[in-house]
A and B are shown apart, each in its own frame.
Chain A
Amino acid sequence: MIIQATDQQTVARQILGEISGRAADSIIASTRLSDLGLDSLGRLTLAVLLEERTGRPIPDHELLSVQTVDDLERLLTSSERSA
């Protein structure tokens, strides 16, 4: 489980880094997606890239409630567990 969580951290922060243009290691659990300057197109890109790279569908209403990187990583870990 810890290994899975670490994987999801890497995936989430890598993608957020790509979209925002910030270094992935400067993105921490408490970083807010809004602070990364993600607009609606950024959020759409995030949803699509996450699904492509994790191979799991992420329902819109789940991603809508994500505010921080920590929220996102929890969401990915829980969807992995239930998959």
Chain B
Amino acid sequence: MTEKPTPTTSRTSDPPFIAESAEVAPAARIGARTRIWHHSQVDADVRIGEDCVLGKGVHVASAAVIGNLVKIQDGCGVFGATLEDGVMLAPGVYLLEDPAPRAVNPSGHLKGRNDWRREPVTIRYGATIGANSVIAPGVTIGRYALVGIGSVVGHDVPDHGLVMGNPARQLGWSCMCGHRLNDNLTCPTCGRLYHQRPYGLSLAT
């Protein structure tokens, strides 16, 4: 463990905790109190916010940008994606960014950095991606959307959308609290009521 009990003057100066076996590039920017657990790897061009948790064996690469209060569980691969605050990736989630994946370019050489165009994934505030799901390059997952376990998502998901399957289909709507809304767009668990908007649902005010 490399955690150092440093005296803190302000909340934002609390250092991140990085497990000894994790490999975090010195140039990567890691926010206060973020914890990075065993065998995780964070590349140099990555930015991670405050109060995040990266579980065991997570790889964050390719200039990914991660907000605050983000939870990334064991074995995830985050390639170039933007994750807004409060996002959760359950174990084994992959966020991909190459829409034309090849090992070699047409002239037969190993594909390098300049041989491809990045189309990273965007995951908006509060959304959750279920275990072992794969999100295709360029897809945007809406605010508080919920992607079911083992899904393959190839299309954008609206705010509060509940999708599942391969290929993922929208089967309903999910509440901020994580439960599925009923036919009246009301949460049976917490009672919150939502309205339909062009981009999905939002809380009724």
Whether A and B are associated in the same complex: the answer reads yes
A interface residues (Cβ-Cβ under 8 A, vs B): 32, 34, 39-41, 43-44, 47-48, 60-61, 64, 67
The answer on a CB contact under 8 Å between B183 and A40 is no
Decide yes or no whether B171 CB sits under 8 A from chain A: yes
- Total contacting residues, chain B, CB less than 8 A: 11
Q: Give the 7 A-B CB pairs with smallest separation, nearest first.
A: A43-B171, A60-B170, A40-B171, A67-B183, A60-B169, A44-B165, A44-B164
The answer on a CB contact under 8 Å between B172 and A43 is yes
Contacts of B12 in A (CB 8 A): none
Contacts of B182 in A (CB 8 A): 34
Decide yes or no whether B56 CB sits under 8 A from chain A: no
Decide yes or no whether B57 CB sits under 8 A from chain A: no
A67 to B169, CA, bound (A): 17
Decide yes or no whether B148 CB sits under 8 A from chain A: yes
The answer on a CB contact under 8 Å between A47 and B164 is no
The answer on a CB contact under 8 Å between A44 and B183 is no
A28 to B172, CA, bound (A): 23
Complex A-B: 12 CB contacts under 8 Å? A32-B183, A39-B180, A40-B162, A40-B171, A41-B148, A41-B164, A44-B164, A44-B171, A47-B169, A48-B165, A60-B170, A60-B171
The answer on a CB contact under 8 Å between B164 and A34 is no
Contacts of B171 in A (CB 8 A): 40, 43-44, 47, 60, 64
Quote the shortest CB–CB distance from A35 to chain B (angstroms).
10
Cβ 8 A contact of A64, one of B148, B172, B180: B172
A44 to B180, CA, bound (A): 14
Contacts of A60 in B (CB 8 A): 169-171
Contacts of A47 in B (CB 8 A): 169, 171
The answer on a CB contact under 8 Å between A34 and B148 is no
A41 to B168, CA, bound (A): 11
Contacts of A40 in B (CB 8 A): 148, 162, 164, 171-172, 180
A40 to B146, CA, bound (A): 11
